[in-house]
Structure 1
């Protein structure tokens, strides 16, 4: 390892290092799409995602480093606060809006298949651990490996599961924090209903992805399953399917 390389925390699937003002990570088959996405976001004036700098001599993807605090567990009081929640919703809305004009035409080339109806390019893992915060506000999104076209509700379903949060991690203010998130995103009643209905299917998709990757020999996903992550998601699927959440108003 280069002495100037700093291994970044949270890279559960890939080894990610910081070199000065850049981040380096192993290139993948879908890397060209991610670079294209970052370049497009720059043209649209969205600055809450890394910049693309191509590849380095080692063949790794090179992206700009976003300074700030990443919302790893356990959450700090700032990351757990309502300001962090609402700013994340606004950040995700700005990101979605910046991708709406290319989502349908950039259907292929991603790690994950597109989900119909295509409205935006979903981040597909919007969560505090993929958010960069400054002063308690979400200012950046990172780790776009699983990005792919899909409906807003598909991304928002996972976002509310993580940011509110829902399931076994839920606190006493779930409906209040849901309303704060939806209001900050600017979601109408139809999108709120669709988002609630998307939570369980989105978690089922995650469990299938984990199983498929582990069966194909992915050691990181196999390790996640071994430590109980899969069982955790299955428990939350059962919990959210049985408590009337997806049928509730919003």
Structure 2
């Protein structure tokens, strides 16, 4: 980049404002923000030839941006979610990129109480996009404490309600598969209980329009792998 020209200067200033405080983070940030689309950005990221653990910085830049534009739209969310999935798939052999993604999101969960409402909404919808394209599973909610009413403040309730409402906007078969991913496993039993409690207490009670989707979700949560082909879950 020619630092003397105005556009790179603006980009570097923006990167500094987002606390991109290393050369690798600044380079990743500038590529993502200036890419023509997610394919262009992804191809340029590959050419960075990141060494060692530097490739993990991609996920931190993608997920842990400090601010989200007020005019963000569905296209932006979908593009970044697809880029996250593409990057995670490519670097999976280099280990824990997807784990890094989850840790970044869990860090955000600790900030929900002080997070701006617009940013909270965008984060909820972004995570819903990643769950819907199977970059992440609902296991990302393990740190959300959805069953603990002592920790569910009004801001946290609003954030996770927006998340589930975004998930319920998807087609029935996709909703089934999203919830099916955490079915059967004993380790997810507390999470399943928390999800059902939260949905019944804060989502379905307010929006009866999602009752049908919740019926599908609840049925998927009770399913096991062996039963997957035995009945049509959408009847």
TM-score, structure 2 as length reference: 0.37
Structure (1/2) with the larger strand percentage: 1
Q: Which has the larger radius of gyration?
A: 2
TM-score, structure 1 as length reference: 0.35
